[in-house]
């Protein structure tokens, strides 16, 4: 197996990600930007941009790192059945609805794992020009600023990020499981782009991120940032995440807060409330 | 009564707001920034910054526009009992929790009304350097870019902004009133700074903003932006907003979406569900 020079990899990927960001920005500035008449034309345009950016990134990876596996959203990658070796995770545009409606608050997310261990993470909030990046063991950064260790916040002082879907009837989690959590914490936010929300937890802008359904390309990079600053990431009941599972629940926070929320959820599960992993739902 | 040259006023206030923004930014860069040990010290620091910025802005207004009334958050303004004449609304830091936890996503908000009609609006998202401003009848702007007329979106295509508080037991609105709305719309967001959220609706980044409790200094400027782009702003049941009421509910959207949501809420009220204006709650 090819030995990876991680510093060179970081330099290369940083360039690719910024170049991809420029392509997206140019598409907004074009004479006919995202102002398309019908909803299907709109969706086509988004899909085309998603595919074109993924194709660009996957080609760069294949050329520079031949033989390494890629898990990606739009299908230009591979379908590896093992985390052995080097594994790339690519999400060309995370936060598609924000991309469509706002033309902001979306990100390019790339992660590189070696034998199941996170090694390099890149999350680029294109329009804010905020580049969250990390080589495992060498510190996590927002642009050139090193992120501090995650704060050990308790629930009543915490700002939580989640989708409102999980507070109303849905097929993954009983709508009342989180009621106490929402009412106890100091505030809730919802930005609609998982990679940015994970990066925000790593950067201390948020104290926790909760979701019942997320794909590996959405969270793989964020998890590396989170671990680098001392945060904890598991399924919402505290069980470990499997990178090869198509979708998973996810709870990310500092150790104290993470324990507080997972304990709360386990109590609710023991009381008989439904908390279903995506894969367990038909 | 002094005749106001609105163009000169716009120029002056734009300078004051940016200067106030610089003061806030400098406070973050100071050797002992918002990293204070105890929670009460933290709150003191926020309160001090809030008060100091308000004092700065109120003094500018009093010097340049003597005799005009000011309604402001921190108490350096007046307590007018009429909207006759010129009335200023000042919120030195809207989004206090974001200010404390994130040091971003907060805004300075200033509005000027004449005989109850919105004339000039200024909302400055300090850290994003996004300045939303408007002279009534002359177009609304984000920095130098003119905002387009609000889109006539329907609920199923809409991105709504609200606090999760209104989806769980609270004393203003039955927790189930908005369930259908949340489940029908295309997405929900929550940014935690009303003035920015209102400006985002005006700019088309969001399609609606809903709250059960907001003070005039929080929404006065946002309403002017909203009206300028053709949006509708009322209480959540469709009744008009009273600028002199201490707190009000608020629903802001394009005409079609606004009608759709207020109709839904009125149906729920007729079914006996609680929807209480802040002033009607003991």
Asked if residue A120 and residue A203 are part of one domain, the reply reads no
Residue A122 shares a structural domain with residue A203:
no
Side by side, the strands of the sheet bearing A232-234 are A187-189, A159-161, A208-214, A248-253, A232-234
Chain B residues with CB under 8 Å of A43 CB are none
Last residue of a domain, one of B105, B122, B146: B146
Tell me, what CATH number does A29's domain have?
Answer: 3.30.540.10
Between β-strands A140-142 and A145-146, what pairing exists: parallel, antiparallel or unpaired? antiparallel
In sequence order, which residues have a C-beta less than 8 Å from that of residue A55 and are 6 or more positions away? A74, A76
What is the spatial distance between Cα A162 and Cα B189, in angstroms, rounded to a whole number? Answer: 9
Q: What is the pLDDT of residue A27?
A: 87
What confidence score (pLDDT) does residue A86 get? 97
ipTM of the complex: 0.94
Comparing CA positions, the residue from B111, B144, B139 lying closest to residue B129 is: B144
Residue among B206, B220, B268, B208 nearest B248 (CA): B220
pLDDT at A28 (0 to 100): 85
Provide the pLDDT for residue A61.
98
Q: What is the pLDDT of residue B229?
A: 98
Q: What is the mean pLDDT of chain A?
A: 93
User: Rounded mean pLDDT of B198-202?
Assistant: 98
Percentage with pLDDT > 90 across chain A: 87
Collect all residues from A whose CB is shorter than 8 A from any CB in B. Answer: 39, 97, 101-102, 104, 128, 157, 159, 162-165, 167-169, 179, 182-183, 186-192, 205-207
pLDDT(B280) > 90 = no
User: Are B161 and B119 found together in one domain?
Assistant: no
Question: Which pLDDT belongs to residue B40?
Answer: 63
Q: Which two tokens stand for residue B215?
A: 């003070």
Q: Same structural domain for residues B138 and B168? A: no
Query: Residue A31's pLDDT is what?
Result: 56
> What distance in Å separates the CA atoms of residue B154 and residue A65, rounded to the nearest whole number?
47
Q: Is the pLDDT of residue A37 over 60?
A: no
Q: Do A188 and A236 lie in a common domain?
A: yes
Model confidence band, residue B279 (pLDDT cutoffs 50, 70, 90) = confident
Q: How far is CA A105 from CA A74, A131, A144, B101, B260, in A?
A: 20, 13, 20, 19, 27
Chain A residue with minimum CA distance to B204: A102
B161 & B251 share domain? yes
pLDDT at residue B225 is higher than 50: yes
pLDDT tens for residues A236-263?
999 999 999 999 999 999 999 999 999 9
The CA distance from B175 to B168, in Å, is 5
Q: Is residue B1 part of a domain?
A: no
Both A12 and A73 in one domain: the answer is yes
Find the mean pLDDT for residues A24-48. 68
Note whether A164 and A94 are same-domain residues: no
Q: Is the pLDDT of residue B281 over 60?
A: no
- More reliable by pLDDT, A41 or B203: B203
Whether B182 and A164 lie within 8 Å, measured CB to CB: yes
Mean pLDDT of B56-84: 94
Last residue of a domain, one of A128, A146, A164: A146
Query: At residue B96, does pLDDT exceed 50?
Result: yes
Predicted confidence (pLDDT) per residue in B235-249, tens digit: 999 999 999 999 999
CATH number at residue A210: 3.40.190.80
With a CB cutoff of 8 Å and minimum separation 6, the contacts of A281 are: A171, A172
Whether A33 is in a domain gets the answer yes
In this complex, do B159 and A97 lie within 8 Å of one another by their Cβ atoms? yes
Where are any strands of DSSP class E within A58-207?
A: 69-72, 86-94, 107-114, 117-125, 130-135, 140-142, 145-146, 159-161, 187-189
A59 pLDDT higher than 80: yes
Interface contact flag, B168 A169, Cβ < 8 Å? no
> Average pLDDT, stretch B24-31?
82
pLDDT in tens, A71-126: 998 888 899 999 999 999 999 999 999 998 999 999 999 999 999 999 999 999 99
The answer on B162 and B141 residing in a single domain is no
**Beta-carbon neighbour count of residue B241 at 10 Å?**
18
A210-218 average pLDDT score: 97
A172 and A49 co-located in one domain: no
Distance from the B192 Cα atom to the nearest Cα atom in chain A, whole angstroms: 7
Q: How far apart are CA A212 and CA A17, in angstroms?
A: 28
Q: Residue A47: its pLDDT value, please?
A: 80
User: Same structural domain for residues B131 and B161?
Assistant: no
**Best to test chain B binding among A164, A170, A192, A253 (most B CBs inside 10 Å):** A164
Higher-confidence residue: A41 or B169? B169
What is the domain count for chain B? 2
Q: Which residues of B touch A (CB under 8 A)?
A: 39, 97, 101-102, 104, 128, 157, 159, 162-165, 167-169, 179, 182-183, 186-192, 204-207
Range of the domain at A139: 6-146
Strands A69-72 and A86-94: parallel
What residues of chain A lie within 8 A of the CB of B101, using their CB? 159, 186-187, 205-207
* Alpha-carbon gap, residue A177 to A202, rounded angstroms: 25
In terms of domains, do A179 and A106 share one? no
Across B41-55, B72-86, B145-159, the highest mean pLDDT is recorded for: B145-159
Q: Is B159 close to A186, i.e. CB distance below 8 A?
A: no
**Average confidence (pLDDT) over B187-206:** 98
* Chain-chain contact of B159 with A205 (C-beta, under 8 angstroms): no
Minimal CA separation from A189 to chain B, in Å? 5
Inter-chain CB proximity B101 and A187 less than 8 Å? yes
- A183 and B168 in contact by Cβ < 8 A? yes
The residue among B168, B182, B203 with the most chain A CBs within 10 A of its CB, best to mutate, is: B168
Question: Alpha helix (H) ranges present in chain B?
Answer: 6-29, 39-64, 96-101, 179-184, 194-203, 216-228, 255-270
pLDDT of residue B274: 96
Q: Are B46 and B52 within 8 A, CB to CB?
A: no
A210 found inside a domain: yes
Task: Answer whether B71's CB lies under 8 Å from B77's CB.
Answer: yes
Least confident of A81-85, A174-178, A226-230, B206-210: A81-85
Which of B146, B163, B193 is the endpoint of a domain? B146
Instruction: At B54, give phi and psi (nearest 5°).
Output: -65, -45
Q: Is residue A1 part of a domain?
A: no
Q: Which residue of B has its CA nearest to A148?
A: B35
């Amino acid at each position: 197996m090819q030995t990876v020079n991680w510093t060179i990899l970081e330099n290369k990927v940083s360039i690719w990600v910024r170049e991809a960001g420029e392509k997206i920005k140019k598409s907004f500035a074009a004479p006919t930007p995202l102002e398309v008449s019908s909803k299907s034309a709109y969706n086509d345009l988004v899909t085309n941009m998603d595919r074109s950016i993924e194709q660009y990134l996957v080609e760069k990876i294949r050329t520079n790192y031949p033989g390494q596996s890629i898990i990606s959203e739009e299908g230009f990658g591979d379908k590896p059945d093992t985390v052995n070796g080097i594994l790339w995770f690519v999400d060309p545009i995370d936060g598609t609805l924000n991309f469509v409606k706002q033309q902001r608050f979306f990100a390019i997310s790339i992660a590189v794992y070696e034998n199941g261990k996170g090694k390099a993470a890149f999350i680029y909030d294109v329009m804010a020009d905020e580049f969250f990046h990390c080589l495992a063991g060498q510190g996590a950064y927002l642009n050139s600023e090193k992120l501090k260790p995650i704060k050990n916040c308790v629930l009543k002082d915490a700002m939580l990020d989640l989708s409102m879907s999980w507070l109303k009837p849905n097929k993954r989690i009983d709508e009342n499981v989180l009621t106490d959590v929402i009412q106890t914490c100091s505030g809730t936010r919802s930005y609609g782009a998982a990679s940015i929300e994970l990066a925000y937890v790593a950067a201390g802008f948020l104290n926790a991120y909760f979701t019942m359904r997320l794909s590996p390309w959405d969270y793989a990079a964020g998890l590396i940032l989170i671990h680098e600053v001392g945060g904890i990431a598991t399924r919402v009941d505290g069980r470990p995440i499997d990178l090869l599972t198509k979708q998973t629940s996810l709870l990310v926070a500092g150790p104290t807060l993470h324990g507080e929320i997972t304990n709360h959820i386990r109590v609710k599960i023991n009381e008989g409330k439904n908390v279903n992993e995506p894969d367990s739902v038909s």
